[in-house]
Chains A and B, each alone.
Chain A
Amino acid sequence: MSGPSDYQPTNPALKWIERRLPIFGLVHSSFVAYPTPRNLNYWWTFGAILSLMLGLQILTGVILAMHYTPHADLAFKSVESIVRDVNYGWLLRNMHASGASMFFLAVYIHMFRGLYYGSYKEPREVLWILGVIIYLLMMATGFMGYVLPWGQMSFWGATVITNLFSAVPYVGDSIVTLLWGGYSVGNPTLNRFFSLHYLLPFVIAGVVVLHVWALHVAGQNNPTGVEARTEKDTLPFTPYATIKDLFGTSCFLLFYAWFIFYMPNYLGDADNYIPANPGVTPAHIVPEWYYLPFYAILRSIPNKLAGVTAMFSAILVLAFLPWLDTARTRSSKYRPLAKQFFWVFVVVCVLLGYLGAQPPEGIYVIAGRILTACYFAYFLILLPLLSRIEKPRPLPNSIAEDVLAKSGGKAVPMVSTVIMLAVAGALFAGSAQNARAEEQQTPPSQKWSFAGPLGTYDRGALQRGLKVYKEVCSNCHSLSYIAFRNLADPGGPGYSPAQAAALASEYKVKDGPNDQGDMFERPGRPADYFPSPFPNDQAARAANGGGLPPDLSLITKARSYERGFPWFIFDFFTQFQEQGPDYVSAILQGFEKKPAGVTLPEGTYYNKYFPGHAIKMPQPLTKGQVTYDDGSPATVEQYSRDVTTFLMWAAEPRMEARKQLGLQVFVFLIIFTGLMYFTKKKVWADAH
């Protein structure tokens, strides 16, 4: 894109606009006629994917903002309302939450591509630095976005990260108070994070415009690192790059859809389904996966200020890459040493990410320190050193020549990568015996009717589970996100609206004030929610020996257990998400005689699966307690299974709709991807 284009639209109306605002010429020269190197591989499609993801996040975000309330007392509930009541609210929320992860995945691949092929080198330094700025803005946006649902992880993650600024000497505490707008993370903090979370993506969009402009001035890099010189080296962007990007994006959308429809909570934390509580710190505060490597670096350094500095430096060092790596050869394809160390670096980053999620004990601390040193050594020692001593392989004379030549010989097995993988293996093996496994007994895996891509709720189990809830659990536990009308919703227990209304009228609900100014009681209506057994938390505690029986609406999503390596990888493919139900049903059946030598605190009971084994709830279910109308066995095992199924529905009433739509979307996307593939092959047939 150099200077005004000489493109003229043929349509007279468009001609009229073009003369006054040459937008069509701009689009034509930037995205139609624009010469793009003909040898680009699929690592180059992530720029287009990122543009799509930014657009999708803004679209879904603006829509979510129409329904979300940014107040500490209302935020959590407003998000649940979106997921339960807003038409396709569950879809929009899943798209936005999974979209953030996809956005970061794409940006990391995009950045690693830049690292490998030397896309940061002259004359693309400003392009690269603009990219680092976009990355920083993305991290700020993602952090603030995660605070908005106001769950436990939202609140405590915000507390930990804002507290980091207190490390700044002299003005640290003033900065933190300024950020908080109060004396701790609270409503002022949430409100301003919402404002900034809405703002920053548009700032990102502006920097992206600069980023694409800078790209078009220099032209794209390519796998050889040799600049395009003649027309033989390039192809017009449309149709060649456009169709290739469409195909790549379609594949990416398939991967994205897997999360939206089948694994919406895989990348999240169960603790974020617990409303924020400033008085209770979660046992393990873990940021979202895309921050984990930096979190690991932060914790590796025992000094607070040094740790904060190291963490920010780990990102800022990227901006200096063009001056750290001054090798003349751009692409690592022709740099045998740099290539090996690049892959070692990739493994270092992945391992740092893994460590960021582990408790900072034992071998993890040592490994974290070694890997942090490796991370910085790569940028500050290795790359400058290689610039001086490495002998690169000979470059092709041009892109055209590279395309025509047969593909080169097999890569030499990379010794250093093998060593790194061995180190990684040792780490994982070591973690299998780590102390965390002793904290909690793994609940046995049950078979659930709602598991898997075609899972549905067993209606009988839901109705029986409702009976167990009503007769046993509701004495202490509220179910405040479920309204009586939900019992008649599709994908639920399958009651008719009349039955749901009849059930509602069995309850007494407080209403008012009436015209005399008094509160009064009336029978429940379908629009009412299940009433809580206690008027407030303090009354609940007083009646339960100081313990607060949690609301059960989200309990099966708010509880989980460590799957460990390598299970968490298999889980991704098997769509395993039943940690919560497995845990809940294990607790209900896990009351045992206290083993010898164990002392339990006053007022607690021994439970095999409860972390720490001392639970404040006495065994709630006994054989024969509830009589089932359909003759199902009146055993504790049956009660646990049924009430857990019911509670899974209470936590996600729209699950069946999610999986059904997911199937339709997948079929569509697979067909679409196939079509794009064949179209791409046809378009490119004459170019190869």
Chain B
Amino acid sequence: MATLWPFISQMNPDASTIAAGAPIEVDLTPIASGQDIKVFWRGKPIYIMNRTKKQIEEARAVPVASLPDPATDQSRVKDGHDQWLVVIGICTHLGCIPIAHEGNYDGFFCPCHGSQYDSSGRIRQGPAPANLAVPPYQFVSDSKIQIG
């Protein structure tokens, strides 16, 4: 078994790939309220959304138990920075990139098979099983985040 391990382990991401996937910093100042940007980290698209008050209220008004993948909006954002939603823009169904500011919930709409996410990135209808993943990130300052 020990002799087999190097042959399997070599398939995992190599050192340069891991290094290229090191954390990145994103400046939030250019993103106005209601706008969003897409950055790439570790080859994945990440939506950074500056939510309007209306979007936050809509997300928080939803009864959590009724969600296919229950989660509170508060658990998906950082305390004191509630307007900022940072999610990986990969549909949890089969991996397409959902379109921001589309669909019935003012969230995301995936054109591949019709999954719809709300303004908290939570799955509301369609075949996707889970909410849009939240990547590891923290606020370096009020206007800058580090992803990864």
Bits for A373-388, please: 1 = Cβ < 8 Å to B, else 0.
0000000000000000
Segment from A184-192, A579-587, A653-661 that makes contact with B = A184-192
CB distance from A580 to the nearest CB of B (A): 22
CB within 8 Å for A280 and B127 given contacts A183-B43, A184-B44, A186-B43: no
- B94 pairs with A163, CB closer than 8 A: yes
B144 at the interface (CB under 8 A from A): no
Tell yes or no: B2 within 8 A of A by CB.
no
| Complex Cα spacing A284 to B14, Å | 32
Q: Are A360 and B113 in contact (CB under 8 A)?
A: yes
**Which partner residue on chain B sits nearest A163 by CB separation?**
B95
In the complex the two chains form, is A281's CB within 8 Å of B43's CB? no
Q: Kindly provide the distance from the CB of B110 to the nearest chain A CB, expressed in whole angstroms.
A: 8
Cβ contact within 8 Å between A181 and B44 = no
CA distance A126 to B98 in the complex (A): 47
Q: In the complex, what's the smallest C-beta–C-beta distance from B98 to chain A, in angstroms?
A: 9
* A299 interface contact, C-beta 8 A: yes
**Residue B62 interfacial (CB < 8 Å):** no
Residues of B within 8 A of A183 (CB): 13, 17, 21, 42-44
Closest-by-CB residue of B relative to A283 is: B111
16 intermolecular pairs with C-beta atoms under 8 Å apart: A156-B96, A160-B94, A160-B95, A178-B11, A178-B12, A180-B13, A182-B21, A183-B42, A183-B44, A184-B42, A184-B43, A185-B43, A281-B96, A281-B112, A304-B93, A361-B114
Total of A-B residue pairs, C-beta within 8 Å: 70
How big is the A interface, by class?
Answer: 20 to 34
By beta carbon, the residue of chain A nearest B89 is A279
Q: Which chain A residues numbered 170 to 206 have a C-beta less than 8 Å away from chain B?
A: 177-186, 188, 192
Kindly provide the distance from the CB of A154 to the nearest chain B CB, expressed in whole angstroms. Answer: 14
A535 within 8 A of B: no
Instruction: Please state if A179 and B11 are interface contacts (CB–CB under 8 Å).
Output: yes
Kindly list chain B residues whose C-beta atoms are within 8 Å of the C-beta of A184.
42-44
| Contact residues in B for A186 (Cβ distance below 8 Å) | 17, 43
A-facing residues in B1-48 (Cβ within 8 Å)? 8, 11-14, 17, 21, 38, 40, 42-45
Q: Closest A-chain residue to B98, C-beta based?
A: A281
Which residues of the partner chain A approach B21 to less than 8 Å between Cβ atoms? Answer: 182-183
Chain B contacts for A160, CB-based, 8 A: 94-96
Residues of A within 8 A of B8 (CB): 178
> Which of the residues A185, A188, A192 comes within 8 Å of B17, measured between beta carbons?
A188
Please tell me which one of the listed residues B43, B113, B129 contacts residue A299 in the complex, with CB atoms under 8 A apart.
B113
How far, in whole Å, are A110 and B25 apart by their CA atoms in the complex? 57
- Do residues A188 and B13 form an inter-chain contact, with CB atoms below 8 A? yes
> Is there an interface contact between A303 and B111, defined as CB atoms closer than 8 Å?
no
Q: Are B97 and A182 in contact (CB under 8 A)?
A: no
Whether the Cβ atoms of A182 and B43 lie closer than 8 Å is yes
A182 to B14, CA, bound (A): 8
A619 at the interface (CB under 8 A from B): no
A12 within 8 A of partner (CB): no
Q: CA A188 – CA B13 in complex, angstroms?
A: 8
Looking at the assembled complex, report how far the CB atom of B2 sits from the nearest CB atom of chain A, in whole angstroms. 18
Main secondary structure of the interface of B (DSSP, over half): loop
* Chain B minimum-CB-distance residue to A188: B17
Q: Does A242 contact B (CB under 8 A)?
A: no
Is there an interface contact between A279 and B45, defined as CB atoms closer than 8 Å?
yes
**B94–A182 touching, CB < 8 Å:** no
Is A357 an interface residue, CB under 8 A from the partner? no
Q: Is the CB of B12 within 8 A of A281?
A: no
**B97 and A304 contact, CB distance less than 8 A:** no
Chain A proximity mask over B63-99: 1 for CB below 8 Å, otherwise 0: 0000000000000000000000000000001111100
User: A159 at interface (Cβ–Cβ under 8 A)?
Assistant: yes
CB distance from B40 to the nearest CB of A (A): 7
Query: In the complex, what residue of chain A is closest to B130 when comparing beta carbons?
Result: A304
Please tell me if A550 contacts chain B, counting CB pairs below 8 Å.
Answer: no
Q: Are B38 and A182 in contact (CB under 8 A)?
A: no
Nearest chain B residue, comparing its CB with the CB of A303: B129
Contact of B13 among A177, A279, A281, A303 (CB under 8 A): A177
A45 to B95: give the CA distance in the assembly, Å.
Answer: 42
- Contact bitstring B103-146, A, C-beta under 8 A = 1, else 0: 00000000111100000000000010100000000000000000
The residues of A that contact B94 with a CB separation of less than 8 Å are 160, 163-164, 285
Asked whether A597 is an interface residue with its Cβ less than 8 Å from the other chain, the reply is no
**In the complex, residue of chain B having the shortest beta-carbon distance to the beta carbon of A184:** B43
A192 touching B11 in the complex, CB below 8 Å, given contacts A163-B94, A283-B111, A285-B112: yes
CB of A430 within 8 A of chain B?
A: no
The answer to whether A633 has its CB under 8 Å from any CB of chain B is no
Does residue A620 face the partner (Cβ distance < 8 Å to B)? no
CB proximity of A441 to chain B, nearest CB, Å: 19
Task: Report Cα–Cα, A178/B21, bound state, in Å.
Answer: 15
A25 to chain B, nearest CB (A): 40
Q: Is A302 an interface residue (CB 8 A)?
A: yes
- In this complex, what residue of B is CB-closest to A285? B112
In the bound complex, how far is the Cα of B45 from the Cα of A178, in angstroms? 20
Which of B14, B43, B44 has its CB near the most chain A CB atoms (within 10 A)? B43
Chain B: minimal CB distance from A155 (Å) = 11
A278 at interface by CB-CB < 8 Å: yes
CB neighbours of B11 from chain A (8 A): 178-179, 181, 192
Quote the shortest CB–CB distance from B24 to chain A (angstroms).
13
**A252-282 CB contact bits vs B (8 Å, 1 = yes)?**
0000000000000000000000000011110
Chain A residue, CB-CB nearest to B94: A160
Closest CB of chain B to A129's CB: distance in Å?
Answer: 26
* A278 in contact with B111 (CB, 8 Å): no
- Closest chain B residue, CB of each to CB of A159: B95
- B38 near A279 with CB under 8 A, answer yes
Q: Which residues of chain A have C-beta atoms less than 8 A from B13's C-beta?
A: 177, 180-183, 188
Residue of A nearest to B17 (CB): A182
Given A156-B96, A177-B13, A182-B13: A278 touches B45 (CB 8 Å cut-off): yes
B12: chain A residues at CB < 8 Å are 177-178, 181
Nearest A residue to B111 by beta-carbon distance?
A283
Chain A, Cβ-Cβ closest to B41: A183
Instruction: Assess whether B44 is in contact with A304, with CB atoms less than 8 Å apart.
Output: no
Cα distance A185–B42 when bound, in Å? Answer: 10
Cα–Cα distance between A182 and B43 once the two chains are bound (Å) = 8
